[in-house]
Structure 1
Amino acid sequence: MNLTISGHHLEVTPAIREHVQNKLERIRRHFDQVIDIAVTLTVDKLREKDKRHKADINLHISGKDIHVESLAHDLYAAIDTLVDKLDRQVIKHKDKIQEHPHQAIKHIPDPASV
């Protein structure tokens, strides 16, 4: 699994990197077929009072790409909300995969031969 964490208008410190990695452990526990994760953390400085922190993630898993965004006044709150949203989508994708087993055509019984 490749993990890329980048910052836009902010420096990604080791503390931020560790926080993101710890939060993403929850995703790996639920779904272990993750191929690539790209996290982008952004700070938009509209005014000094209105700093807005944005976190977005692109998750590439087998068969699907998932994109999630989150906005908050605190960077850690944006990361937490982001991982919560991503966790729900990954669980939903995993349930869809498990509900619909795909059988090969050669294993489906032929109604004419019955």
Structure 2
Amino acid sequence: MSSWFPRWRRVDAARQDLVAPDETLPPAQTLLMGVQHAVAMFGSTVLAPLLMGFDPNLAILMSGIGTLLFFVIVGGRVPSYLGSSFAFIGVVIAATGYGGSGGNPSI
């Protein structure tokens, strides 16, 4: 009987070049991948709001809540991080006339 939430199994030690979607890395490798992911996501989650004049703390909180909700809704089957997007920075700056220092008063 399958459960709603997946049960990951350890990656096969003989096959170190490939990790299947239902497998997990050993704890040390998982920790290193987590640190790499945090460094990669931190730039977009902090830099994008700063460029638009938003509060980065709010962006981090909302991306965390969104990621947790997404993880629960898909049952952990789709590993994803829902963070800030750089796609609309130009539009926000143009629409609000943001000058680039401090908070954006036009939001």
TM-score of the pair, normalised by structure 2: 0.36
Could you say which structure has the higher strand fraction? Answer: 1
Q: Which has the higher contact order (CA 8 A, sep 6+)?
A: 2
TM-score of the pair, normalised by structure 1: 0.34
Could you say which structure has the higher helix fraction? Answer: 2
